[in-house]
Amino acid sequence: EADIYQTPRYLVIGTGKKITLECSQTMGHDKMYWYQQDPGMELHLIHYSYGVNSTEKGDLSSESTVSRIRTEHFPLTLESARPSHTSQYLCASSWGIVGTEAFFGQGTRLTVV
C-alpha cells in the first residue's frame, strides 16, 4: 500500500466550525493534490502543490485553503464549515516527473450538520 495518510477518516461537525483535514506522505513526493469527490463519485481537483511553499487552486472553486510548509504535509482547512462542504476529500501525491502515477490516501468523509 502507498504511504499516504489522511486523518480523520470520518468527521461530523456543526455548521460554522473550523476544520483541518490532514494529509501526510512519507515518499518524499514533490506534488500533492486535494480532490473533492461528489456523491456521483466524480473527482474534482480543488488544490495542488508542486513543492514547498507552492500552492495552486484547482479546477473546482473551493472555499477551503491549503498550505505546504513541509514536503510531507499538505493540510486542507475550512474556516467556517457549511452543509455544502459535505463530501469525500481525497489527498494524493506523486513525483514531479513526467508521467508518474499518483498515490491516493483513503479519504476523509466530511459531514457538516
Q: Distance (Å, rounded) from C-alpha 67 to C-alpha 109?
A: 20
Closest distance of CB 87 from another protein, Å = 15
Cβ nearer to another protein, comparing 69 with 98: 98
Cβ nearer to another protein, comparing 105 with 112: 105
Distances (CA, A) of 41 to 7, 35, 67, 87, 88: 20, 11, 26, 10, 9
CB neighbours of residue 68 within 10 Å: 19
Give contact residues for another protein (rule: CB under 8 A).
1-2, 31, 33, 35, 40-43, 45, 48, 58, 90, 92, 96-102, 104-107
Closest distance of CB 40 from another protein, Å = 7
Closest distance of CB 69 from another protein, Å = 21
Q: Distance (Å, rounded) from C-alpha 111 to C-alpha 100?
A: 33
Cβ nearer to another protein, comparing 13 with 45: 45
Strands 103-104 and 87-94: antiparallel
